[in-house]
Amino acid sequence: MTYGVAHLSIIPLRSEPSEKSEMVSQLLFGDAYIVLEEQNGRFKIQTCDCQYEGWMDKKLFNPIHELDVEAYLSADKYFVKDYLLFIKTFEQDILFPVFAGSSFPFPKDNILILGNSIFMVHLPEEKQVQTVPELTESQVTIIQFAAQYLNAPYLWGGRSPAGIDCSGFSQIVYKRIGLALPRDASQQVQMGKTIDFVEETQIGDLAFFQNEEGKIIHVGIICGKNKIIHASGCVRIDTIDTTGIFNHETKTYSHFLRIIKRILSL
């Protein structure tokens, strides 16, 4: 098999082997993937973390040797918590940003090797997670990290603070606490334990919403009593009740509730 690892801030993944097809997801810096096939100067790839498939430009391919893949995937990784982390290319000394939600093996002596690419990385000092009465450390981490995305614009297929969709948002937030979610809301809804009533929700629960045909089309994260943080227009906090999400700006329900799932083991 042929493997690669993302060495750029963002690499678009498209539904078809064409620049004109829709973007369905993104690779973030450090994401590993398997090449499945080649067509029209593009690779169809599958991500190693959640097995999501899409087409990327072949010119953006950064190979990683098959013998190194297992070690790369199992290595302890640094998770980018701040909006941006600036790093430098080793040879050209070019500074460029890595977005929150990206992860990569801890550098050795400030040197990071990703496939054929080498970078200079100076990691920031770790910040302790604040303690909040009646909340677990995971719940506090989820709320604090999710809040960093407030006002980030909605972008279909996006996975970064520069543009993100609803399921990309929930996936990245849960990645922050070391839990791997599938890419799409229709897959994420298969996980966790069903919560029967909105009044029984806890911070970190995922709420899923349906269209008129009953198809899951949206997901958000419970962030307080009758409050949900989600990507709709932008990442925002709205009210949730038994009907769905109520938008106080438009005075209407923007999404209709289908089911609530508890992913965290509290």
Q: For 33-70, how does the pLDDT look when each residue is reduced to its tens digit (9 = 90+)?
A: 999 999 999 999 999 999 999 999 999 999 999 899 99
- More confidently predicted of 128 and 263: 263
159, 101: one domain: no
Would you put residue 188 in left (φ > 0), alpha (ψ -120 to 50) or beta? alpha
Q: Does position 130 have pLDDT exceeding 90, yes or no?
A: no
**pLDDT attached to residue 126:** 85
> Do residues 165 and 154 make contact, with C-beta atoms less than 8 angstroms apart?
yes
> Do residues 248 and 237 make contact, with C-beta atoms less than 8 angstroms apart?
no
Q: What is the pLDDT of residues 185-216, one digit of tens each?
A: 999 999 999 999 999 999 999 999 999 999 99
Looking at the chain, list the stretches that DSSP marks H as alpha helix, in order from N- to C-terminal side: 66-74, 137-147, 166-176, 185-188
86, 112: one domain: yes
> Of 48, 65, 122, 230, which residue is the catalytic one?
230
> Do residues 181 and 188 make contact, with C-beta atoms less than 8 angstroms apart?
yes
Q: Is the dihedral of CA 192, 198, 204, 208 positive or negative?
A: positive
25, 104: one domain: yes
Read off the CATH number of the domain in which 169 is found: 3.90.1720.10
Residue 65 appears among annotated catalytic residues: no
Indicate the residue among 94, 120, 146 that finishes a domain.
120
Q: Does position 160 have pLDDT exceeding 70, yes or no?
A: yes
| Confidence band for 91, pLDDT divided at 50, 70 and 90 | confident
Read off the CATH number of the domain in which 76 is found: 2.30.30.40
Q: Does position 2 have pLDDT exceeding 90, yes or no?
A: yes
> Do residues 230 and 206 make contact, with C-beta atoms less than 8 angstroms apart?
no
Contacts of 142 (CB under 8 A, 6+ apart): 173, 174, 176, 177, 203, 204, 221
Percentage with pLDDT > 70 across the chain: 100
> Of 7, 166, 223, 255, which residue is the catalytic one?
166
Please return the burial class of 152, using the count of CB atoms within 10 Å of its CB with bins 0-12, 13-18 and 19+.
buried
| Confidence band for 266, pLDDT divided at 50, 70 and 90 | low
Residue 132 lies in a domain: no
As for how many domains the chain has, the answer is: 2
SS3 103: strand
Pick the closest to residue 183 from 68, 23, 43, 60 (CA basis): 23
Domain that holds residue 200: 137-262
Mean pLDDT of the chain: 96
116, 187: one domain: no
Residue 199 lies in a domain: yes
Residue 128 lies in a domain: no
Residue 166 appears among annotated catalytic residues: yes
Structure tokens at 139: 């719940």
> Of 218, 223, 248, 255, which residue is the catalytic one?
218
- More confidently predicted of 159 and 127: 159
The CA distance from 233 to 74, in Å, is: 36
Residue 7 appears among annotated catalytic residues: no
Residue 24 lies in a domain: yes
